[in-house]
């Protein structure tokens, strides 16, 4: 299993480093009432500081997508840009998703991934996921079908990851979120504008609107995870190898998570 090193964030204005990431925080912090252990799904130790309660909320809906506040630093560098749709993507979301799957699955919690046939499972195993506890449903069916599949999965496994590729009706989103809350399982939604969507845009022969293929989640969510910054190192011009990367993840949401928490994740080879 890979190991991770976490450094403190470069302190942006008003944002403190995530608690518990870089050792014990010397300053006394107001305790915001951590969730009891039964109410969260465990995540990798490196990610605990990002989540209120130290894990993914059971019964909650967690979005993985672009940061809520547009971050101008992430625009495409150089000229000419490939178009506004491509400018929206945030590299690193899939790695963040794999990290989130690694924690529960390695501890024996069953996880299901629907609608994401592209997911690199070798990478998942390298990041610590237990493929024995991972169920893949590459194609959850068309309109009217995937909703029942996801609802059934929410009753069945602890963590369901959903990557909708058709527009989601608000009523479906609300229903699924309610089902997750009722069954105490976590719904992880890969929200719009991921590189997956870009790739699908090319495949579907509609390169002009690549981001459109991935649908937005119109329903309620408890947390939103985003990647603010991602960089690779190790690759030179004609030499080297992609060897390590740095991700700056941000989690914000409601209640205890209303103040965004950021953490710098270094994923070594």
List residues near another protein by CB under 8 A: 2, 76-78, 80, 82-83, 86, 89, 91-95, 97-98, 108, 110, 117-123, 125-126, 130-141, 145, 148-149, 152-153, 155-157, 194-196, 199, 202-203, 207, 230-232, 235-245, 267, 269
As given in the structure block, the two tokens for residue 187 are 């719904």
Quote the least distance from Cβ 249 to another protein, whole Å.
Answer: 14
Classify the C-alpha dihedral 85-230-254-51 as positive or negative: positive
Quote the least distance from Cβ 264 to another protein, whole Å.
Answer: 16
Quote the least distance from Cβ 106 to another protein, whole Å.
Answer: 10
User: Of the two residues 97 and 177, which places its CB atom closer to another protein in the complex?
Assistant: 97
User: Of the two residues 93 and 257, which places its CB atom closer to another protein in the complex?
Assistant: 93
Measured distance CA(48)–CA(205) in Å, rounded: 41
**CA-closest candidate to residue 250, choices 264, 233, 238:** 264
User: Of the two residues 48 and 196, which places its CB atom closer to another protein in the complex?
Assistant: 196
User: Of the two residues 135 and 256, which places its CB atom closer to another protein in the complex?
Assistant: 135
As given in the structure block, the two tokens for residue 65 are 């997508």
User: Of the two residues 27 and 79, which places its CB atom closer to another protein in the complex?
Assistant: 79
Taking residue 101's Cβ as centre, other Cβ atoms within 10 Å add up to 28
The backbone torsions φ and ψ at residue 232, rounded to the nearest 5 degrees and listed phi first, read -105, 150
Quote the least distance from Cβ 250 to another protein, whole Å.
Answer: 17
Ramachandran sector of residue 207 (left: φ over 0; alpha: ψ -120 to 50; beta: rest)? alpha
What SS3 state is found at 104?
A: helix
- Beta-bridged to residue 41, according to DSSP, are 56
Measured distance CA(266)–CA(245) in Å, rounded: 6
Measured distance CA(238)–CA(111) in Å, rounded: 39
Measured distance CA(57)–CA(72) in Å, rounded: 30
In this structure, the strands spanning 223-235 and 61-64 are parallel
User: Of the two residues 25 and 126, which places its CB atom closer to another protein in the complex?
Assistant: 126
User: Of the two residues 216 and 245, which places its CB atom closer to another protein in the complex?
Assistant: 245
Quote the least distance from Cβ 35 to another protein, whole Å.
Answer: 23
User: Of the two residues 207 and 220, which places its CB atom closer to another protein in the complex?
Assistant: 207
Measured distance CA(250)–CA(230) in Å, rounded: 12
Quote the least distance from Cβ 50 to another protein, whole Å.
Answer: 19
Cα separations (Å) of 50 from 53, 261, 269? 9, 6, 22
Quote the least distance from Cβ 19 to another protein, whole Å.
Answer: 27
Quote the least distance from Cβ 76 to another protein, whole Å.
Answer: 5
């Amino acid at each position: 299993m890979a190991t991770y090193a976490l450094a403190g964030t470069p302190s942006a204005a008003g944002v403190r480093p995530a608690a518990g990431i870089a050792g014990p925080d010397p300053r006394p912090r107001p305790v915001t009432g951590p969730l009891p252990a039964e109410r969260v799904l465990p995540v990798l130790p490196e990610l605990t500081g990002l989540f209120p309660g130290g894990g993914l909320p059971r019964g909650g809906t967690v979005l993985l997508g672009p940061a809520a506040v547009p971050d101008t630093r992430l625009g495409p560098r150089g000229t000419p840009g490939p178009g506004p749709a491509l400018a929206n993507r945030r590299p690193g979301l899939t790695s963040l998703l794999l990290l989130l799957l690694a924690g529960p699955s390695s501890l024996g919690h069953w996880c299901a991934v629907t609608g994401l046939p592209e997911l690199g499972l070798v990478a998942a195993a390298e990041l610590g996921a237990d493929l024995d506890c991972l169920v893949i449903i590459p194609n959850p069916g068309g309109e009217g079908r995937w909703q029942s599949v996801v609802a059934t999965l929410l009753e069945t496994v602890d963590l369901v990851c959903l990557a909708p590729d058709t527009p989601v009706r608000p009523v479906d989103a609300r229903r699924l979120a309610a089902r997750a809350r009722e069954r105490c399982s976590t719904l992880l939604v890969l929200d719009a504008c991921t590189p997956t969507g870009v790739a699908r845009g090319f495949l579907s022969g509609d390169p002009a609107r690549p981001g459109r293929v991935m649908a937005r989640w119109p329903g309620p969510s408890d947390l939103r995870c985003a990647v603010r910054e991602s960089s690779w190192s190790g690759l030179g011009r004609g030499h080297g190898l992609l060897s390590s990367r740095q991700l700056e993840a941000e989690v914000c949401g409601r209640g205890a998570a209303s103040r965004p928490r950021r953490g710098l994740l270094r994923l070594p080879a």
